[in-house]
Chains A and B, each alone.
Chain A
């Protein structure tokens, strides 16, 4: 009853709003940027300076709570005009009618053009051949390694592992139980982060989601499981988030770790050793370069009041001038032609930029959270030794296959 009343009032208000001129209207944004130096926040300030009539009314929501807040907003009819969404859940929201369709707006835009964007980034914003979002920033994974530890073990820090075999060899050499050092680290936690980190290895193996029981897919899981079984990776990878794995690397208890560019600022500040970044290794014989594709996209929730204005802001944020600022926040512009001048950590910048080219999107799939959850369970049962990788993947396959039969994912 209450929500009905609220909906009615709100509907009346929005009719009024759309007929009224947009001057003086504020744009409500929910975003995930808690740090005042975040490039997106700097860009918000720039918008406010140049658009005194339409100021931004922003609200910070921690990354892990954004979906939940958005759902609550939809439930109570209290949605912002613009929101940052984690790219793998766009299809879920879009397929359930929670996002405004932007196909025509994007087609008519001179700034946002499909051809400019990384294919992976662009794909995350499409569901059922319609556009529901616009890529905001992109990120991916690479291998961080401790150059000092390489030297201490007589290894050449200029030669990071290029293949799985080298990764195994180096990881075995770098593991030092007496000093509490593990050779390699990754996050295998039972959440989206675990899926995010494992998928690149699945792609490198030559396997894919549609054939999780193939020997190649099983090899990708076996690689991770063996690292844990042999004690070259800590069992704590099962409960540690990516942030915590990077803390382990910073604390010197992991010689190599899979991580993203968002950690670079922390590395600059806290690392007490020489560290470097390399592209993820490939599987010998397959030579498939692969990495994960993360990042947020701009979406307009269904029922937003200032749709036109919100899209104008998205266009503003997509201009090269604004986009190139992304790197200073440890992210990449989703448009490869935009180059960052004098980037901080230039070598890492090159590595992550190279990695971006082969980064693959998770989905788009309306049931991605379910698919991801099946993968997480498979990772965890394999790494704890409760199941063999083959048996664990077989169970995941049983969940995932019907979902993919309904909505296939291209190239995954």
Chain B
């Protein structure tokens, strides 16, 4: 019996000198400076450099012939002025705000609903949860293609289903009607982001002790009151972090929209990442593309700042 089981504890210092050495190494002070330096170098090179390069580019005049050099003519804020003066600018700003806020709100709401739902144990809950997570594993290009088929006006599943149950009489032009295309891509993006929200919220929920619910039930609190007075407040740090993370993810989402509409029709689903890409690679306006992504970067930076602060507040609490 004792032979079959690995014997932890007593034999450790004798039979594993390597582990002991590692322990000593990691306990020593020097190792931290080395690892921190390595991380800092990595960030500087792979994150800092591209960002700086992009920001510099947004202040220069860039063409195909000088895109490979750094010593390009300096034009100050001209690229930004050009973008802000572009008739597309207000539309893209509006689209981005609608797309991001709707995506974040719906993803959090649906994620929370699902997380609460799967907290109830019922037969098959594990399997069902796995199926929902499967959506998150798919590459965004695939998600975009699938949703394009689902929402096709002539032979799409959505229209067929809605027509079969008599909700609509003719096909709805989800993607080809400028008034609905943004909603359609938002819908696909929400579907894509819900599983991630669900996981994080489920983790947050599991951190709330069961006993206080039992106590509240004895005190006569109903399910609605338990949700508003206990679950939501205790979930607040998780929700803050989640809103920040979702906002950052959604701000940079590109593939799903690109596959579904290319930002059309008439730019009705054009958001900042799409615009930036089109400027750079459709009309070779690299400086414009860089300026667009820098503007986005500033917004993301502030959201990230809020996120970092909320995490810090949570750690302190």
* Interface positions of B from 158 to 177, Cβ below 8 Å from A: 173, 175-177
* Interface positions of A from 296 to 339, Cβ below 8 Å from B: 302
Are A369 and B282 in contact, with the CB atoms below 8 A? yes
Are B69 and A380 in contact, with the CB atoms below 8 A? no
Are B65 and A238 in contact, with the CB atoms below 8 A? no
Are B67 and A180 in contact, with the CB atoms below 8 A? no
Smallest CB separation, B69 vs chain A (Å):
7
B281 at the interface (CB under 8 A from A): yes
B153 at the interface (CB under 8 A from A): yes
Are B262 and A235 in contact, with the CB atoms below 8 A? no
Known: A68-B281, A190-B266, A234-B154. A239 touches B178 (CB 8 A): no
A58 at the interface (CB under 8 A from B): no
When distances are taken between beta carbons in the complex, the residues of chain A under 8 Å from B267 are: 190, 377
Please report whether the interface of chain B is mostly helix, strand, loop or mixed according to DSSP: loop
When distances are taken between beta carbons in the complex, the residues of chain B under 8 Å from A237 are: 176
Are B281 and A384 in contact, with the CB atoms below 8 A? no
Are B67 and A386 in contact, with the CB atoms below 8 A? no
Which of A74, A96, A384 is the one whose CB lies under 8 Å from B178? Answer: A384
* CB nearest neighbor in A for B69: A3
B152 at the interface (CB under 8 A from A): yes
Which of A3, A236, A377 is the one whose CB lies under 8 Å from B70? Answer: A3
A75 at the interface (CB under 8 A from B): yes
* CB nearest neighbor in A for B68: A75
Known: A190-B267, A237-B176. A369 touches B154 (CB 8 A): no
* Interface positions of A from 236 to 261, Cβ below 8 Å from B: 236-239, 248, 251, 253
* CB nearest neighbor in A for B63: A96
Are A190 and B264 in contact, with the CB atoms below 8 A? yes
A153-B120 Cα distance, complex, nearest whole Å: 59
Which of A67, A96, A97, A238 is the one whose CB lies under 8 Å from B281? Answer: A67
Are B65 and A302 in contact, with the CB atoms below 8 A? yes
A248-B176 Cα distance, complex, nearest whole Å: 15
A14 at the interface (CB under 8 A from B): no
When distances are taken between beta carbons in the complex, the residues of chain A under 8 Å from B68 are: 3, 7, 74-77
What 4 A-B pairs are tightest by C-beta distance, nearest first?
Answer: A190-B264, A97-B65, A96-B64, A238-B176
- Please report A residues at the B interface, Cβ cutoff 8 Å: 3-4, 7, 67-68, 71, 74-77, 92-93, 96-98, 180, 182, 189-191, 234-239, 248, 251, 253, 302, 367, 369-370, 373, 377, 380-381, 383-384, 386
- Please report B residues at the A interface, Cβ cutoff 8 Å: 63-65, 67-70, 148, 152-155, 173, 175-178, 181, 260-267, 281-284, 286
Complex A-B: 17 CB contacts under 8 Å: A4-B69, A74-B64, A93-B64, A97-B64, A97-B65, A98-B65, A180-B155, A190-B262, A190-B265, A235-B176, A235-B177, A236-B175, A238-B264, A238-B265, A239-B148, A302-B65, A373-B283
